[in-house]
């Protein structure tokens, strides 16, 4: 069975839309773990557009929540990550104007910095993952960087599946990366854009040990949670 990590950044997006405290990412983190998720993911972005510093402190402090902190290679963010000691760290690229993480890391360009960073996390016994595009060269570089895991960017295959286009070539690339990663003792994760269909397709790949899913799960939860919430409001307003 694959592990399921839930990205709860969009809970903070909704909270921030009103500058209020509701919904609270810490409460949601506890709740999703109670619902059976294996871990939660939060991305502390340089622009703090959703998760903020206090969310990181509160969530990482709660040892009942297995926390995967996504970060860029920004020095200030790296310091915060080391201070809060999450269970897992996933290093991702970050561009200021992107809507979401648009692609994998450029491992060759950032080789030295990533290698030093992973060494620091290892000293703190933090499991590190590198978010990469599904290409063989990056899997090989990831091994040289001494990372524990790689997370394959599944944005492209997810879009092809959603648009009912031929995804065979992209799936072959992912399969090849999985095989090479396993041969090199790298744990394989997958994430980005995943919905029911793409997750079902990728679940057949035995090398993938963890899925990290955010937007679709939060969207589906709104759809399925509305009925219960409306019912409750109707009961309250009857009185």
Closer of 103 and 175 to ligand PXP (Cβ): 103
Residue choice 90, 105, 177, 188 for contact with ligand PXP (CB under 6 A): 90
22 included as an active-site residue: no
The Cα 63–Cα 145 span in angstroms is 28
Asked if 101 interacts with ligand PXP (CB under 6 A), we say yes
C-alpha torsion sign, points 101, 107, 110, 111: positive
Asked if 145 interacts with ligand PXP (CB under 6 A), we say no
The Cα 142–Cα 184 span in angstroms is 10
How many other CB atoms are there within 10 angstroms of residue 160's CB atom? 18
Asked if 105 interacts with ligand PXP (CB under 6 A), we say no
Return the structure tokens found at 75. Answer: 């020095």
Asked if 25 interacts with ligand PXP (CB under 6 A), we say no
43 included as an active-site residue: yes
Return the structure tokens found at 171. Answer: 């799936």
Task: Kindly give, in sequence order, each residue whose CB lies less than 8 Å from that of residue 104, ignoring residues fewer than 6 positions away.
Answer: 93, 131, 132, 133, 138, 153
How many other CB atoms are there within 10 angstroms of residue 63's CB atom? 8
Residue choice 20, 27, 62, 100 for contact with ligand PXP (CB under 6 A): 100
The Cα 124–Cα 140 span in angstroms is 24
- Shortest Cβ distance from residue 19 to ligand PXP (Å)? 22
Closer of 162 and 182 to ligand PXP (Cβ): 162
Closer of 70 and 148 to ligand PXP (Cβ): 70
> 128, 147, 114, 133: which is closest to 176 by C-alpha?
133
Taking CB under 6 A as the rule, which mask of x and - marks residues 177-216 in contact with ligand PXP? --------------xxxx-----------------xxxxx
Peptide bond into 76 cis (omega under 30): no
Closer of 70 and 207 to ligand PXP (Cβ): 70
192 included as an active-site residue: yes
Residues known to be catalytic: 43, 70, 192
Q: Which residues bind ligand PXP (CB under 6 A)?
A: 7, 9, 43, 70, 90, 92, 100-101, 131, 151, 191-194, 212-216
């Amino acid at each position: 069975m694959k592990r399921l990590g839930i990205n709860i950044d969009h809970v903070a997006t909704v909270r921030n839309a009103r500058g209020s405290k509701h919904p609270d990412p810490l409460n949601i983190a506890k709740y999703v773990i109670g619902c059976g998720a294996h871990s939660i993911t939060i991305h502390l972005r340089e622009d703090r557009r959703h998760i903020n510093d206090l969310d990181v402190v509160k969530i990482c402090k709660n040892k009942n929540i297995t926390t995967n902190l996504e970060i860029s290679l920004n020095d200030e963010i790296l310091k915060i990550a080391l201070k809060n000691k999450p269970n897992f760290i996933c290093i991702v690229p970050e561009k200021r104007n992107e809507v979401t993480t648009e692609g994998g890391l450029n491992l060759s360009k950032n080789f030295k910095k990533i290698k030093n960073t992973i060494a620091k996390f290892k000293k703190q016994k933090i499991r590190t993952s590198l978010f990469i595009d599904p290409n063989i060269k990056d899997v090989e570089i990831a091994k040289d960087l001494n990372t524990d895991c790689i997370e394959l960017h599944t944005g492209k295959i997810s879009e092809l599946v959603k648009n009912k286009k031929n995804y065979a070539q992209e799936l072959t690339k992912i399969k090849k990366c999985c095989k090479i990663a396993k041969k090199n003792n790298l744990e394989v994760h997958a994430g980005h854009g995943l919905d029911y269909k793409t997750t079902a397709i990728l679940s057949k790949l035995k090398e993938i040990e963890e899925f990290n899913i955010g937007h679709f799960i939060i969207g589906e939860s709104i759809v399925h949670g509305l009925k219960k919430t409306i019912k409750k409001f109707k009961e309250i307003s009857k009185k």
